[in-house]
Amino acid sequence: MMSFTRNAWWFRHVLIVIFAAVATALVLYSRAEWSPMHRWNRAIGDVSLVLIAMAMMLGPLSRLWRQGTRVLPYRRELGIYAVVLAFVHATIILFGWVELDLMRLFGFEFHPGLQRYVMVNHGFALANVSGLLGLIYGLVLGLTSKDASLRLLGNSIWKYVQRGTYVLWWLSVAHTAYFLFIHFLDYHRQTPEPNWAQWPFVALVAAVLGLQIAASTVTWRKSIGGGANAAVAE
């Protein structure tokens, strides 16, 4: 009965929702001195990235550790709630930061003297483009993660679409890295204290990359070993 409960879809949803809620609350608490908009914006964005990272780790982990296959079903729920949080993150930016002025979202500000928009922040534009592309791709992945999508698209096309998780991951990494390390390095305003999430972010990216490299190495060695054994048998 316990085994069934742990594998039930509703249990996975509940567990990921609780984890995301607790993680968001902890990140909010750690940045009590920030304005409410930025606290919520960054906390939700950070937890979304953590969920994506966890989803990215499960595949390599299952290849390195046989028992890891038991948690592979959690990839779907991790991906779904990562996209949900990313959507909330984008909504907060649109309403709270750029105030629905889409030109500001891409680094432009209105110049009263010139009576037109001028580019003032190139990095902000590039970072938000990568974030929007990641969100769009995440929505595609989320909408096609259902079993009905597998039946509709067919196994080969469905797998091809779902492999785009790597695209979503690296777009999210680029977007987050900009705001953690670059955005506030501006010569004409005071630079704030370094964000405590910088090194945890580096460790998270390194962990995902390390697991992927290790799993690929193990798979490659097995394929080489299998080919060698087949040659000997012949």
Query: Mean pLDDT throughout 212-218?
Result: 91
Q: Which of 54-68, 73-87, 173-187 has the lowest mean pLDDT?
A: 173-187
pLDDT score recorded for residue 50: 97
Number of domains in the chain: 1
Residue with the larger pLDDT of the pair 186 and 156 = 156
Highest mean pLDDT among 20-29, 69-78, 159-168, 180-189: 20-29
User: 102-122: per-residue pLDDT in tens?
Assistant: 888 888 888 888 888 888 877
Q: How far apart (Å, rounded) are the C-alpha atoms in residues 234 and 232? A: 5
* Residue 177 CB burial class (10 angstroms; 0-12, 13-18, ≥19): middle
Q: Tell me what pLDDT residue 19 has.
A: 97
Among candidates 201, 183, 191, which has minimal Cα distance to 46? Answer: 201
Contact between 101 and 45 under an 8 Å Cβ cutoff? The reply is no
Cβ atoms < 10 Å from Cβ of 29: 10
Model pTM? Answer: 0.86
2 CB contacts (<8 Å, ≥6 apart)?
Answer: none
Distance of CA 73 to the CA centre of its chain: 18
Domain that holds residue 142: 2-233
Average pLDDT over residues 142-164: 74
Task: Please give the residue that has the higher pLDDT: either 142 or 91.
Answer: 91
CB-CB contact of 98 with 105 (8 Å): yes
Look at residue 8 and tell me whether its pLDDT is greater than 90.
no
Strands in the chain per DSSP E: 108-111, 116-119
Least confident of 56-60, 101-105, 223-227: 223-227
Span 90-112, average pLDDT? 87
Q: How far is CA 182 from the centre of its chain?
A: 19
